[in-house]
Amino acid sequence: MSDVAQALGGRRIYLDKQSPAAYQALVRTADAVRATAAEAGLDRILVELVNLRVSQINGCASCLDVHTRAALRAGETTRRLGVLPAWRDTELFTPRERAALALAEATTDPADARAQERAYDEAREVLDDDELSAVVWVAITINAFNRVSILSKHPVREV
């Protein structure tokens, strides 16, 4: 049993530590996606909103912690972060952000084909092909990180 598994009482392993090559490949994917998003013209706040919304849906405390701090550093407000779970019920988000959030939700829960089609159609009205692709890649990537953190039971620690 690894040191990490021992530290967790043998019940869980930190997947990132147990399989570092696989985790580093995921990190490289995230780096490529971040570059793709920037090249497509997505600002850091929009990317972090997608990261946060997906992490909220998945219930990933570790990723919520990381991306809340990143959003605040990027200039996001606590007011908008506070209402993000209810983004549809407020006018605080731009049409572009709303399209990205809907697309992120559809990417996170692809089982609802109708919602996925609606989100895609709405996104096509305000996002170009590069932006749409980048949003989906951001959502796919944070979903992967959420699963690593949730299944590893990564803790949220005081900073």
Quote the pLDDT of residue 56: 98
What is the pLDDT, as a whole number, of residue 6?
Answer: 47
In a domain, 159, yes or no: no
Q: What is the pLDDT of residue 159?
A: 74
Q: What is the pLDDT of residue 4?
A: 46
Q: Please indicate, yes or no, if residue 6 is contained in any of the structural domains.
A: no
Domain that holds residue 147: 15-152
* In-domain check, residue 105: yes
The reported pTM is 0.92
Residue 67 lies in a domain: yes
Q: 10 lies in a domain?
A: no
CATH number at residue 23: 1.20.1290.10
- pLDDT by 10s per residue, the chain, length 159: 445 444 445 688 999 999 999 999 999 999 999 999 999 999 999 999 999 999 999 999 999 999 999 999 999 999 999 999 999 999 999 999 999 999 999 999 989 899 999 999 999 999 999 999 999 999 999 999 999 999 999 999 887
Judge whether 98 lies within some domain.
yes
Instruction: State the total domains in the chain.
Output: 1
Residue 65 lies in a domain: yes
DSSP the chain: --HHHHHTTTS---HHHHSHHHHHHHHHHHHHHHHHHHHTT--HHHHHHHHHHHHHHHT-HHHHHHHHHHHHHHT--HHHHHHGGGGGG-S-S-HHHHHHHHHHHHHH-TT-HHHHHHHHHHHHHHS-HHHHHHHHHHHHHHHHHHHHHHHHTPPP---
Q: Is 129 domain-assigned?
A: yes
